[in-house]
Amino acid sequence: MNNKVWDGKISSLPAEFKTQLLGMLDRPDVIAVRLGITGKGIQPNYQLIHVDNSVTTMNGANHKKFERADEFDETNITAPLTRCDITTMILTGQ
């Protein structure tokens, strides 16, 4: 069993996941995303932050709405990241 914990670096996430995530950030109603940081960094669950400040929690495995939003603890999620933030992290290896 692999007990590796994700290092929080966007660049270490699988390419397909990053593509899907950036696609979510291309939606006109989405301004930022917050990623869960407690998993292995393969398909982290995440929250979309909308222009009206509402939040939609997403399942990282299938990029569909995640109903167990209460599992997101403020200490286990990143600060809000914009599309520009994520693109910069990918390009700089962060």
Does residue 73 have a pLDDT over 80? no
Q: Write out pLDDT tens, residues 14-72.
A: 999 999 999 999 999 999 999 988 888 889 999 999 999 999 999 999 999 987 766 67
- Exposure string over 37-61, b if 16+ CB within 10 A, otherwise e: eeeebebbbbbbbeeeeeeebbebe
Look at 83 and 38; give whichever has higher pLDDT.
83
Does residue 1 have a pLDDT over 60? no
What is the pTM for the complete model shown?
Answer: 0.86
| Average of per-residue pLDDT across 80-90 | 93
